[in-house]
Amino acid sequence: MPAIIVDKEKCKMDKLCVMECPMKIISVDDSGIPQTLNTAESMCIECGHCVAVCPHGALSLPMLRAEECQDIHYQWNPGVTVIENYFKSRRSIRRFKKDIVKKEDLMKLLEITAYAPTGHNSRTVEYIVYTQKEEIHALVKHVIDWMHTIIINSPEMAKSMHFDMITKAWEDGIDTVTHSAPVIIVAHGKKSNPNTPTSCTIALTHLELIATALGLGCCWAGYFSWCAMVYHPLKKALQIPDGNTVYGTMLVGYPLVRYYRIPKREPCIEWR
């Protein structure tokens, strides 16, 4: 990348940008003004830490101008009690209203999710959003076909994963793969980047938590994701780009039911 852009009138030479750069590629010149090390500019991961940490708005990157960034206000912090109760009350939703999910709700959901952390700031997470009932039904049919092959070829594993019950329910008109969700969001990314699987998981976890604030409910579609990773007919139907693979799928819709209590959970911890 080109060198950082410093507004010398605003810069207070406090070296916050130097300290905060995770790649350690910012130094100061003889006058104390920040500069990018000539030999390390290619190492920039475009995380924006240097821009974000400057309280004076003195530093920008060619692709990230300080004046274009939203200011952070620390009074936004809702406090630990609100966060604790919000996280604890999260539930997997498997019964959805038939209402069409508003596109603006989905856009807001994904726009916020874009701020989820990614390994090495690689930002390799990509999404496919399905909203058409007929198309979702066709995709689930591939999952059912895959389950039938597993039932035949690996009956013990199929039984342990309840494939017999799922396929029987499908024959009876009940979808226990996507639970007739009005929307499914498939997260995929480059197989060549070792950070992609974790980045997709982190992104979908953020998405699930954000969804509740938008009046939406979510459920992880584990069977669907598993099938999408290994079963060519579903891979082909999803039209995942070459070099990418599916790392997670989320069911999304407006919840049909609400919950009134928080089941108790205990962390498993070993202190050392």
Total domains, the chain: 2
User: Residue 79 falls within a domain, yes or no?
Assistant: no
Are residues 21 and 131 located together in one domain of the fold? no
Strand ranges, E, within 136-226: 183-190, 217-220
Are residues 164 and 191 located together in one domain of the fold? yes
Are residues 46 and 107 located together in one domain of the fold? no
**pLDDT, position 43:** 87
User: Residue 262 falls within a domain, yes or no?
Assistant: no
38 falls in which pLDDT band (50, 70, 90)?
confident
Are residues 134 and 37 located together in one domain of the fold? no
Are residues 100 and 30 located together in one domain of the fold? no
Euclidean distance between CA atoms 150 and 158, whole angstroms:
6
**pLDDT, position 258:** 94
Last residue of a domain, one of 41, 68, 95: 68
**pLDDT, position 22:** 94
User: Residue 52 falls within a domain, yes or no?
Assistant: yes
User: Residue 77 falls within a domain, yes or no?
Assistant: no
User: Residue 267 falls within a domain, yes or no?
Assistant: no
Are residues 39 and 117 located together in one domain of the fold? no
User: Residue 15 falls within a domain, yes or no?
Assistant: yes
Are residues 43 and 94 located together in one domain of the fold? no
pLDDT digits (tens, 9 = 90+) for 88-103: 999 999 999 999 999 9
**pLDDT, position 39:** 65
Per-residue pLDDT at 3 exceeds 80 = no
User: Residue 149 falls within a domain, yes or no?
Assistant: yes
CATH of the domain at 214: 3.40.109.10
Euclidean distance between CA atoms 247 and 229, whole angstroms:
8
**pLDDT, position 37:** 86
Beta-strand relationship, 34-36 and 26-28: antiparallel
Are residues 189 and 242 located together in one domain of the fold? yes
Residues 223 and 145 sit within 8 Å (Cβ to Cβ): no
Are residues 115 and 240 located together in one domain of the fold? yes
Are residues 120 and 210 located together in one domain of the fold? yes
User: Residue 90 falls within a domain, yes or no?
Assistant: yes
Are residues 64 and 88 located together in one domain of the fold? no
Which pair of tokens denotes residue 83? 């966060």
Beta-strand relationship, 5-6 and 26-28: unpaired
Average pLDDT, the chain: 96
Strand order from edge to edge, sheet including 126-130: 126-130, 183-190, 244-253, 217-220
Per-residue pLDDT at 2 exceeds 60 = no
Are residues 93 and 155 located together in one domain of the fold? yes
Residue 179 structural domain: 84-253
**pLDDT, position 127:** 99
